[in-house]
Amino acid sequence: MSNFGKKVAELRKEKKISQAELAKQLKTSVSVVGRYERGEMIPSIEAAVKIAHILDATVGYLLGETDQVNVLKDSAMLDRLNDLDGFPQKDKECIVYALDAMIRDTKTRITYS
């Protein structure tokens, strides 16, 4: 079973969605969903995006690019990142530096609490 297929199967089961229901939402057959999950078939990009949406995940998670299922699905966080992307490079560096320091301090506080 491919990493993609394994993650699809795990998320589908966590969400209590049958292969038949996933197939219906994808407008495909149960055998195709089964082949995805067993790693016998690779979905198109469009199908992978639909699967991620249905399972409330990201394509990056399904592909193994991240261990976080919902990374960057928070629209407020995405808005902040989009704002940051429009800033001059020097400002971006300062903001990221400050953010890294706050994250490090919070992790330290949590570890020693």
Domain ranges of the chain: 3-62, 75-111
The residue count of the chain comes to: 113
The predicted pLDDT at position 80 comes to: 86
pLDDT category at 76 given cuts 50, 70, 90 is confident
> Is 0.85 surpassed by the pTM of this model?
no
DSSP states of the chain: --HHHHHHHHHHHHTT--HHHHHHHHTS-HHHHHHHHHTSS---HHHHHHHHHHTT--HHHHTTS-S-TTTT--HHHHHHHHHHHTS-HHHHHHHHHHHHHHHHHHHHHHHT-
The mean per-residue pLDDT over the stretch 84-113 comes to 93
User: 3-62 has which CATH code?
Assistant: 1.10.260.40
- Reported as a pLDDT band with limits 50, 70 and 90, residue 79 is confident
Q: How many CB atoms lie within 10 A of CB 91?
A: 11
